[in-house]
C-alpha cells in the first residue's frame, strides 16, 4: 500500500510549499562539508593520569615502547616442550622439570627431553617452542605422556606478535573509549596527552517555552530541545555552558548570542531560524558580526539549519521543531563539534535496511526519517517502517524510532523491498 506523502499540516514550517523566500537550497553533503571546513581542531592539550583520561580525545599517537606482549608466554595451561625432543614415534614420555605460573620468572636451563609445566600467561623458557594443552597429555607420576607431535609455536604467544616496539597502537584523534583505554594501559603508559575540553554554549529560543516541572500557561510547551542537547553534550571531552531559555526578543537574543560566543568554541541554539516574524536568529547573528556559511539546506527535516562564524567561534543555529533540531544536530552540528574537538573519524556507521512500504515523494531534499525495525526477511535483512510524513515535531515517534532511514534527495519512489541506508539511533 502506498503511504500518502502530502504534508497535511500547513503550519509545519518545514514544508517547501509554505516557504516564503524560495532561495536556493544547498545539498546536504555540501552543507556538511562547508560546516566541517569551519572546524579547525583544538590545538591546546593537557596531560592526564590514565584513570582520569577516559572519554577524552587523544592529542598524539600512542606508540608501544616495548613489544606487545612483552615476552613469549603460554596461551594455555599445559606443558612447554621442545619439538626436537619428539623423535621417532609416539608415545613420548617426558619428565616435568619445573612449574612456571603467570608472573613468575622463567628458569632456562633444562636437560634435553624435559617438559615444563606452564600456566596461562606464564613466560615460556627460552628454547621451548610449543605448549601442549594439559587436556592433551597424560600425567604419569612426575612426568607426562604425549601421543601427538606438537606443531612449532603451538599455543605460544610470541613477544611482539600483537605489536612491535615503535608500532602505533592508537592514532591521534581517537576518543579514549573502552577499547582505547585497554590499549593505552596495555602499552604501559601511566599518562595520556589529550586535547583540552571543547567549550560548547547552548541556549533555547522561544517565548512559548517552559522548563519541565513548571506549569504550562496557555500556548506554552515544555522545552525539550534543551534536554536533548544537554544529554548529547554530556561527554568527558565537552565543557557545557548552558545559557538556558531565551524569549523571542531580538535584544535579549543578541546579548545572549554575543556573550555565548565569547566563552565558547561552539555556540548552539535552537529555534528562531526560519522566516516567521519571531524568527530572529539569522538577523541577530549578522547584526553582531556573524558570517553565515551554511543556510537553507536541502534536507528534511531541518531546512532552516544555519552554520557560521562569529569571530573565532562557530555558531550552529538549529531549527526549533524537536525532530528537526535533533536530526540537524546529529548529522551536521555534532560532526562539526567532533572535528573541532579533534576527532579524526567523524563518519556515521550506517547499515542497509529493507523498506517494508511503498512511498512516492517530491524529490529535491534528502530525508532523514525516523524508522522502526519491524522484523527480518528470509535473508536476515531488517525491515523498517517509517514514521508519518509530517514528523518534524513528533517527539514521541522519534523516541520510539530505532534509527533514521535515509531517502536520497533525487529519489521520488521507494518500493517495498528496496534497500535504504539506515543510521541506527542508540541514545
Ligand atoms: P521555531 O523554529 O522557533 O519556529 O520553532 C518551531 C516549532 O518548534 C514551534 O512549534 C516551537 O514551539 C517548537 N520549539 C521550538 N523550540 C523548542 C524547544 N526548545 N522545545 C520544544 N519545542 C520547541
Ligand atoms: Mg520559535
Residue-by-residue pLDDT tens, the chain, 427 positions: 344 444 434 344 444 444 444 578 999 999 999 999 999 999 999 999 999 999 999 999 999 999 999 999 999 999 999 999 999 999 999 999 999 999 999 988 899 999 999 999 999 999 999 999 999 999 989 999 999 999 999 999 999 999 999 999 999 999 999 999 999 999 999 999 999 999 999 999 999 999 999 999 999 999 999 999 999 999 999 999 999 999 999 999 999 999 999 999 999 999 999 989 999 999 999 999 999 999 999 999 999 999 999 999 999 999 999 999 999 999 999 999 999 999 998 889 999 999 999 999 999 999 999 999 999 999 999 999 999 888 899 999 999 999 999 999 999 999 999 999 999 999 9
**Sheet containing 413-414, strands listed edge to edge, beginning at the edge strand earlier in sequence:** 2-3, 358-360, 413-414
Per-residue exposure over 60-74, b if at least 16 CB sit within 10 Å of its own CB, e if not: eebebeebbbebbbb
Q: Distance between CA atoms of 333 and 41, rounded to whole angstroms?
A: 15
Q: Distance between CA atoms of 140 and 409, rounded to whole angstroms?
A: 74
Binding pocket residue ranges, ligand 1, CB within 6 Å: 13, 204, 206, 208-209, 221, 223-226, 270-274, 276, 279, 319-322
Measuring from atom 23 of ligand 1, which residue has the nearest CA? Answer: 320
Prediction pTM value: 0.92
Ligand showing the shortest atom-to-Cα distance for residue 245:
1
Q: 319 is written with which cell numbers?
A: 531549527
Q: Distance between CA atoms of 128 and 366, rounded to whole angstroms?
A: 63
Q: 128 is written with which cell numbers?
A: 621451548
The residue to which cell 517555552 is assigned: 209
CA of 351 from ligand 1 middle (Å) equals 31
Q: Distance between CA atoms of 370 and 386, rounded to whole angstroms?
A: 6
Ligand showing the shortest atom-to-Cα distance for residue 268:
1
Atom of ligand 1 nearest to the CA of 223: 20
Amino acid at each position: 500500500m502506498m503511504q500518502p506523502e502530502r504534508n497535511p499540516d500547513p503550519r509545519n514550517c518545514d514544508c517547501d510549499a509554505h516557504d516564503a523566500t524560495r532561495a536556493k537550497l544547498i545539498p546536504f553533503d555540501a552543507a556538511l562539508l562547508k560546516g566541517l571546513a569551519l572546524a579547525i581542531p583544538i590545538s591546546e592539550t593537557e596531560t592526564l593520569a590514565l584513570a582520569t583520561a577516559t572519554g577524552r580525545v587523544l592529542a598524539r599517537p600512542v606508540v608501544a615502547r616495548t613489544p606487545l606482549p612483552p615476552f613469549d608466554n603460554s596461551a594455555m595451561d599445559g606443558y612447554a616442550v621442545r619439538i626436537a625432543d619428539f623423535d621417532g614415534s609416539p608415545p613420548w614420555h617426558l619428565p616435568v622439570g619445573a612449574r612456571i605460573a603467570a608472573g613468575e620468572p622463567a628458569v632456562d636451563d633444562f636437560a634435553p627431553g624435559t617438559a615444563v609445566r606452564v600456566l596461562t600467561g606464564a613466560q615460556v623458557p627460552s628454547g621451548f617452542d610449543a605448549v601442549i594443552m594439559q587436556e592433551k597429555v597424560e600425567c604419569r607420576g612426575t612426568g607426562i605422556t604425549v601421543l601427538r607431535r606438537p606443531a612449532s609455536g603451538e599455543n605460544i604467544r610470541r613477544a611482539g606478535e600483537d605489536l612491535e616496539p615503535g608500532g602505533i597502537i592508537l592514532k591521534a584523534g581517537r576518543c579514549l573509549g573502552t577499547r582505547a583505554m585497554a590499549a593505552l594501559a596495555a602499552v604501559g603508559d601511566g599518562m595520556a596527552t589529550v586535547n583540552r575540553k571543547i567549550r560548547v554554549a547552548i541556549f533555547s529560543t522561544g517565548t512559548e517555552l517552559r522548563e519541565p516541572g513548571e506549569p504550562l500557561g496557555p500556548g506554552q510547551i515544555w522545552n525539550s530541545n534543551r534536554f536533548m542537547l544537554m544529554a548529547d553534550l554530556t561527554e568527558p571531552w565537552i565543557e557545557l555552558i548552558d545559557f538556558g531559555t531565551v524569549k523571542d526578543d531580538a535584544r535579549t537574543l543578541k546579548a545572549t548570542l554575543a556573550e555565548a560566543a565569547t566563552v565558547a568554541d561552539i555556540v548552539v541554539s535552537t529555534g528562531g531560524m526560519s522566516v516567521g516574524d519571531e524568527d530572529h536568529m539569522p538577523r541577530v547573528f549578522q547584526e553582531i558580526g556573524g558570517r553565515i556559511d551554511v543556510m537553507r539546506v536541502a534536507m528534511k527535516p531541518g531546512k532552516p539549519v544555519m552554520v557560521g562564524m562569529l569571530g573565532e567561534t562557530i555558531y550552529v543555529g538549529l531549527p526549533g521543531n524537536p525532530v528537526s533540531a535533533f536530526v540537524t544536530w546529529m548529522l551536521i552540528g555534532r560532526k562539526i563539534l567532533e572535528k573541532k574537538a579533534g576527532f579524526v573519524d567523524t563518519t556515521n556507521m550506517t547499515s542497509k535496511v529493507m523498506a517494508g512500504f511503498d512511498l512516492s515523494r517530491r524529490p529535491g531534499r534528502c530525508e532523514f526519517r525516523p524508522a522502526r525495525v519491524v522484523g527480518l526477511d528470509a535473508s536476515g535483512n531488517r525491515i523498517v517502517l517509517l514514521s508519518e510524513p509530517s514528523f518534524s515535531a513528533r517527539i514521541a515517534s522519534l523516541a520510539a524510532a530505532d534509527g533514521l532511514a535515509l531517502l536520497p534527495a533525487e529519489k521520488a519512489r521507494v518500493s517495498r523491498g528496496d534497500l535504504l541506508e539506515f543510521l541506527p539511533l542508540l541514545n
